Structure 1
């Protein structure tokens, strides 16, 4: 690949800073991770958004979370159709190989992917309707959620409701995976839905008993 370039200087500088401090102070832990492999207790599926930093939110160290990120933290339904499914592959590996005890869906405020879905479904983003739009076809997964919130008054309120629908749609789709369903029903795996308010640092969790999100 002749077009690849060396890292920008600021990233090189940050790497050397990390190597001289954090890594140097925890060499034994890193060596153990390398030699013994990973044993994460939880899989986290979160948005690609650079403002969402799940390891920082939970104070997690290397090796604690098996993390998968995609646009709007969506999980597709189980469809072994021969196409390439990055999210589905990550779920399969987490549940069948790593035997994680928890899968946590983390949505967030001011999500650009969810805003795109809202615009697309309301007819204000024709570019996302194009068959060639990867983002648009991915956000089709959230159309059922849009149908449930489309009549909510207020743009801000609709967006926040759809952000939470992205979490609920993903939780529902997780249960279409046979090995997820089996692990949940046997008590070996639990599913969790969280919504993070980036601006105030808030965290809400979905409570199935009430069907609402409540502050953690």
Structure 2
């Protein structure tokens, strides 16, 4: 693998700083995690966006969350076709092996993936329509959310699509037999959240009002 390169120096220094402080001060906890394995209470499906800091938002320690990140925090429909399905595999492992009590889908403001889906569906991003576009084919999952949007200002519609991405993912989670069985058996609950990066706000989907409400 001649194309691989050494780790950048700034990352090496950050690692060394972490090991000398955070790890050193909590060595017993880390060794316990290593020896006893993970027992996360919740799975969080969030966006790859570097600004979405899941553990910081909830003040979580190592071992608390089983986190899966992908573009636009999407969950595809249940489709056991023998192909590669990273998100579906993560959901299966979390629910069936780790027995998490909660699966949380966390959307966010200013999502580039959602913007890309909107532009693609509006005919403004032909490159995403290409069959060779991994992003475009992934964002096809969100097309039903786009089709459900009301008419109006583009910025308002994009913001609404960010939240619909959460709802589409929740609906798709329900198509997984083992997810539905766990929910109906009372061992699992599903949650939809959306966070505003700039304001530090957090909203949760309320099934009674069918709206996202401030937490």
Q: Smaller-chain TM-score range? A: over 0.9
Deviations 1:119-178 (A, max 9, x none): 0001000000000000000000000000011x3311111011000000000000001000
* CA deviation vs aligned residue, 1:78-117 (integer Å, no higher than 9, x gap): 0000100000000000000000000000000000000000
- The 5-angstrom pairing of residues 6-155 of structure 1 reads 6-149=6-149, 151-155=150-154
Alignment of 1:189-200 (within 5 A): 189-200=188-199
d(CA) in 2 for partners of 1:64 and 1:215?
Answer: 23
For residues 52-92 of structure 1, the C-alpha deviation after alignment (integer angstroms, 9 at most, x for no partner) is 00100000000000000000000000000010000000000
| Secondary structure, aligned partner of 1:138 | helix
**Partners in 1 of 2:62 and 2:2 — Cα distance?**
33
Secondary structure, counterpart of 1:39 in structure 2:
coil
CA distance in 2, matches of 1:203, 1:191: 16
User: Mind listing any 5+ residue stretches in structure 1 that lack a counterpart?
Assistant: none
Worse-superposed segment, 16-25 or 1-10: 1-10
CA distance in 2, matches of 1:12, 1:137: 36
CA–CA distance in structure 2, aligned partners of residues 154 and 60 of structure 1: 37
In the alignment, structure 1 residue 164 sits paired with structure 2 residue 126: no
Matches of 1:127 and 1:156 in 2, distance apart? 21
Q: TM-score, normalised by structure 1?
A: 0.99
- The aligned length equals 215
TM-score between the two structures when normalised by the length of structure 2: 0.99
What is the RMSD of the two structures over their aligned residues, measured on CA atoms?
A: 0.5
Query: In 2, Cα distance between the equivalents of 1:180 and 1:113?
Result: 26
Q: Name the SS of the counterpart of 2:21 in structure 1.
A: helix
